Amino acid sequence: MALQHCEFSPREFLLFCDTFKELRRALRYSLRESRYCEEGSGKGRPALLSAWLARLHSEHSGLISDALDLCRTHILPYSPHPEVALLLDKTQADCLREQIEFSEPGARPPLLPLASALYLRTYEASKALSPVSVLRLEIALNAYLFHCEVVQDRKRGLAIAKEAFDSAIPELDNLPEDQYKEVTSLMGLLRDNLTLFTADYSSSEES
C-alpha cells in the first residue's frame, strides 16, 4: 500500500507504526539480553557474542532506516492529515531514543540534543489535539521519560508530564466511553511517574 503512494488515514498509519514498533521491540529484547550476557562474560567477550551483537545492531539500525525512509518518501507526501505527520515525528523521536540506548557511549552525545529537540517539537505540535487525545498523551509520556531517564533533565520532563496531566483532567467527563480506559491508563502512568520522579527530584534538590 505504501509503495503505491496511497493516502494513509491516521488510523491506517497508526497500524503501520504499531507493526513497526513490534518489530523493533523484538530486536530490542534480543539486544538487551545479549548485553546482559556480554556484561556477565567480563573482558574476555567471546567472538561469537561480539558478532551476534554487531548483527543485532545492524538489523535494528537497518529496520529503522528503511521504515523511516519509506514513511518520508512514500507515505507522508501523499497523506496530508496532520496526525500522520505528528505520529511520524513521534516515531522518529522514539527511534532516536532506541539508537541512543544501544549505541556506544562515545556516540551518544551528538544524538541527545537531536532527540530532545524532536520530542519537544512533537510535544508542542501535539497541543493542537484534544488534551485527552491518546496520541497527545503518548507523546507527553515518551517525552517526559526521555528527559527524565536519558537526558537526566528532570525539571523539563516533570514540566511536560504535569502540563499534559493537568490539561487532561478537566476533559475526562466529556470523554467517549470507548476511549476512557486507554486515556485513563496513560494518565495513570503519567501520575505514577510524576509521583516517583517528583519525590526523587525533591530529594536530590535537598541534598
Indicate which CATH number applies to the domain containing 144: 1.20.190.20
Question: What gap in Å lies between CA 103 and CA 184, rounded to an integer?
Answer: 34
pLDDT tens for each residue of 51-82? 888 899 899 999 999 999 989 898 888 888 99
Quickly state the pLDDT bin for 43 (edges 50, 70, 90).
low
Question: What gap in Å lies between CA 61 and CA 69, rounded to an integer?
Answer: 12
* Residue 85 or 39, more confident: 85
Q: Is the pLDDT of residue 47 over 70?
A: yes
Give the mean pLDDT of the chain: 88
Instruction: Note whether 145 and 55 are same-domain residues.
Output: no
Total domains in the fold of the chain: 2
Asked if the structure places residue 107 within a domain, the reply is no
Q: Which domain holds residue 158?
A: 112-207
Instruction: Note whether 55 and 138 are same-domain residues.
Output: no
Provide mean pLDDT across the span 93-108. Answer: 90
Asked if the structure places residue 105 within a domain, the reply is no
Instruction: Note whether 75 and 119 are same-domain residues.
Output: no
Instruction: Note whether 168 and 120 are same-domain residues.
Output: yes
Question: What gap in Å lies between CA 97 and CA 111, rounded to an integer?
Answer: 8
Q: What percentage of the chain carries pLDDT values higher than 90?
A: 62
Instruction: Note whether 145 and 204 are same-domain residues.
Output: yes
Asked if the structure places residue 156 within a domain, the reply is yes
Provide mean pLDDT across the span 107-117. Answer: 93
What is the structure's pLDDT at 187?
95
Instruction: Note whether 116 and 206 are same-domain residues.
Output: yes
The whole model's pTM is what? 0.87
